[in-house]
Chains A and B, each alone.
Chain A
Amino acid sequence: MDLLLDVLDQQLVDKNGRKAGKVDGIAIELRDGKPPRVAYLEMGTDVLARRISPRFERWLQKWRKWMAREVEPFHVPWSKVKKVHLTVDADIDAAKEPVYYVEHWLAEHVIGPIPGSEIAHEDKQR
């Protein structure tokens, strides 16, 4: 397995088959006298901003401070990762994790109150 090719930027899928974001970053733990190992996968806008430039991440954090909004980082411990093949499958429930914060907030405050927001479409089979 190649961490950069097979894990980084791949689709993370939770135990219910729900898409839980792409793997934005990988944290490696360096250990004295032993080979380094993967500690956890990390995701979120901070990581994405940092990957473009550390300056972006500082701006983002300043803006967060100014907005007085704390964002928990979302880490998936490597021990929870079950399978790596085209997707990264992890034994977590994404809906209960911080990656779903924005989704829940929008569902509750913006999209939910609009009439018809709960209707799914039964598409005719082709």
Chain B
Amino acid sequence: MKKTERLNQEIDELSKIKKSINEIKRNYQIMNNNLEMKKDVRKMIDILDKIYIEIFDNTHNLQLFQMYGDFYLPTISKLISRYNNLINKKIKSTDVQNLLSNIENSIKKINVHFQNKYNSFFEDEIIDLDADIKVLLNELNNK
């Protein structure tokens, strides 16, 4: 693949991801301050911002995050947007309440997932570092 094509592809991926993150940020801004959910969305934004930094300059990490811009992040953004709408409509039905609670739980789970994903960017580094420490300790013991 040509260099420019590859760069365009990367930019395309990054654009989709950033656009979704921005959308989530916009939804966060209009979210009612009293909601517990707001804290979780904030947490999500923080992790996503960190992830974005890691994928921005690292093609390998970007590949690990590829599907997110196409599907996951727009869906999450949509979920939060719907959550906002439903909260604003103040509908008290059980179905709605269940859905809201579902979204809240999902967001918490997604946050854990994102945190793991973020950690996974450093897996190789951790493994390498772990191996280095083991070697170092071994050598020290031998002496």
Partners in one complex: no
* B interface residue numbers (CB < 8 A to A): none
